[in-house]
A and B are shown apart, each in its own frame.
Chain A
Amino acid sequence: MIFRLINKRELRELFDVLAENRIIGPVQKGTSHDGKALYAFEPVFDFDDLKLDYTSTARPAKRYFLPSHETLCTFSVHENGWEKTVDFNIHEPHVFFGMHACDINALDKLDKVLLESNFPTPYYAAKRKNMFIIGVECTPQPSCFCRSMGTDSAFHGFDMFLTDLGDSYFVEVQSATAFNFLKNIRTREPKEKDHARYMKVVADKNSMFTTSVDTTDLAKILDMEFQSDVWKYWGDRCLSCGTCASVCPTCYCYGVEESVDIDLKGAKKKKHLYSCNLIDFAEVAGGHNFRPESHSRLKYRYYHKHRGFMEEFEESLCVGCGRCSEACLAKITVPEVIASVRSGVKPKGKKGRHGK
């Protein structure tokens, strides 16, 4: 990898160079009831709106490459049949300015199943191939456990990655496109002392994690504890609302629905992201539900993330971003669930939804 150093003031120049393209980045959307800034990935038109020191976004940037609703194809229907028109719903490249390592790792994981396996999905591929990604080093938040998942730093899947060294940015340059863009602004070769500063920043970051998950042999432990009572406890607390999946940067499951246009001359096939926690996720025509209980669906979610994906790709599907922990209405967190499954001990002090 090639490393460069840029003065902080130069970043505005880089933004302006990139501004010929559509830029998506973290912006502040409001303030929470306890006074914390709330951030979201939105189109950015002014460098001053770009908040590179953002904590975390409530939702991932998923909607730009796995939108919650998407038209897969349209049909024109006539007397003797129909014609299908397919559109992958992307017509220009997007610059993602300021993604954290967890979200970049999430994309790499999605690539494995949506791009690099059989039947690659062109809707994702088209959007993914049109992403220019600038990563930025983050500050660990209370619910972050990416370090446990091995996703606290990104090795690939981005174009350049910025680390704030105070007066300047340490830049990892991953692509030729990024290198060419950097020619537009003043950069310099990092010196030995810059390397040391970079290492210091990373070490400081690593010391700031407050949440961790023991992933040792987790796939095996999940198999062993399939019948554990602990699942029932969490299932009882789970509201089966699917919020965790909607804020998850790696949840990709979906449902497909077709509809006839109001003029009866056409039809649409639409995909909407789904959640394995929703009650009808595994229901077949005729009404048989393979996972009727809340705990079996919640358990399935953990199996897919931490066991199934592991079996297939030798890595977990969870990046430890902590968004589901933050968003869960029943305050269920991944570290707590995994710790309780490992130990076989239900958490004390908190009661389930039905007081059980």
Chain B
Amino acid sequence: MENKLPFVDVLKDIHGYQRKADLGSFEYSHKAEITNVYPLTSNEKLYQIQIVDPDMRRRFTFQPGQFVMLEVPGVGEAPFSISSSPIRHGDIELCIRNVGNLTNFLARVERGVQVGITGPFGTSFPLKEMMGQNIFLIAGGLGIAPLRSPILSVLENRSRYANVDIIYGARQPSELLFTYQYDMWRKFDISLDIIVEKPDAQWKGPVGLSTDILRKKLAEPDGSLSNNTYAIVCGPPVMFKFVCNMLTEAGIPMQKMFVSLERRMHCGRGKCCRCNVGSTYTCLKGPVFDYWSVMNLKEAI
């Protein structure tokens, strides 16, 4: 009798790399090319990244709020929110600040470099549910990066939404991102308020915090906020608390308020535990959470 145990080759059962349940999908990454690099400020750049295979590029779909893992072989892999419109499929844009190993490397690369893209991962902003309603989009600093995707999506479906208010706060005018698009957003009948903490000589806009603008906005009587308004908030951890409290007091229900959380991630697939908030995986149950879920997550904000 044969007493040698048969070797089980787990790869045999793999049907493709698209399905979450496939073992082969775990370490599969789309080859993608950085087709353009656009400097936004001295620290942030916008990278246009195109999945090389045309068929895969078309099949790559995501929802605003989701993120991808971007990998540069030998340098590292990290999660980035997608900043482009979902109608562009696998022709994505990532807004990246040079702060770590990988991003400092990326700051030096030019167009034409091949990288790896995995994903999309995580939850998204429920833009379908928001249809017919007013939307507040409140961003602080780099928080505009994950909000640009829902903003563009709303622009492309403008007739399906009521009032759209963007409030964007930054430390100083030189740190404002996507300045070249503000006129376009306004022309599409979106209210855009920009506020900085430290103005420079040329700054003509308001000075202060995004909550200053929000307070004024919420003071304007505009029907009942509790049944006609959604809010999307993204920014530094301190901002969440103030903004979300203000919105709650104004009557927006917690489950109609969405935030996008930033955490360290090494896998993006609910395995490495690095992104856990309390004991919830930001990569699986987030990065987009409604405010009620965030309230229930210990140590979230």
- Chain A residues proximal to chain B, CB less than 8 Å: 17-18, 20-21, 72-73, 75, 77, 80-82, 84, 86, 88, 91-93, 95, 113-114, 117-123, 125-126, 129-130, 132, 177, 180-181, 183-184, 223, 226, 252-261, 266-269, 274, 276, 281-286, 290-291, 296, 300, 303-304, 307-309, 311
Contacts and interface: CB of A to CB of B under 8 A. Distances in A.
Contacts of B101: 285
B266 A254 contact: yes
Interface of B: 1, 3-11, 20-21, 23-27, 29, 31, 71-78, 97, 99-103, 114, 116, 262-264, 266-267, 269-274, 276-280, 284, 298-299
A255 B274 contact: yes
Contacts of B75: 258, 260
Nearest to A74: B73
A125 B277 CA distance: 26
Given A82-B73, A284-B263, A256 B114 contact: no
B276 A84 contact: no
Nearest to B283: A119
Contacts, number: 168
Interface of B is mostly: loop
Interface of A is mostly: mixed
Given A21-B4, A81-B114, A184-B1, A284 B10 contact: no
B276 A120 contact: no
B273 A304 contact: yes
A233 to B, nearest CB: 19
Contacts of B26: 119-123
B100 A180 contact: no
A111 to B, nearest CB: 13
28 contacts: A17-B3, A21-B4, A77-B73, A84-B27, A84-B29, A93-B7, A93-B8, A113-B271, A118-B21, A122-B10, A130-B8, A183-B1, A252-B273, A253-B272, A254-B271, A255-B272, A256-B272, A258-B74, A259-B74, A281-B264, A282-B263, A282-B276, A284-B264, A285-B101, A285-B103, A286-B99, A300-B276, A300-B278
Sort A-B residue pairs by CB-CB distance and give the 10 closest, nearest first. A308-B279, A285-B100, A267-B74, A253-B273, A119-B269, A81-B114, A260-B74, A75-B73, A93-B5, A122-B23
Given A81-B114, A181-B3, A258-B74, 20 more contacts: A75-B73, A75-B74, A77-B73, A80-B114, A86-B27, A114-B271, A118-B21, A119-B270, A122-B11, A123-B26, A126-B9, A126-B11, A252-B271, A252-B273, A253-B274, A255-B274, A256-B77, A267-B74, A285-B264, A304-B279
B119 to A, nearest CB: 11
Contacts of A276: 273, 276
A223 B75 CA distance: 39
B76 A257 contact: yes
B279 A255 contact: no
Nearest to B97: A286
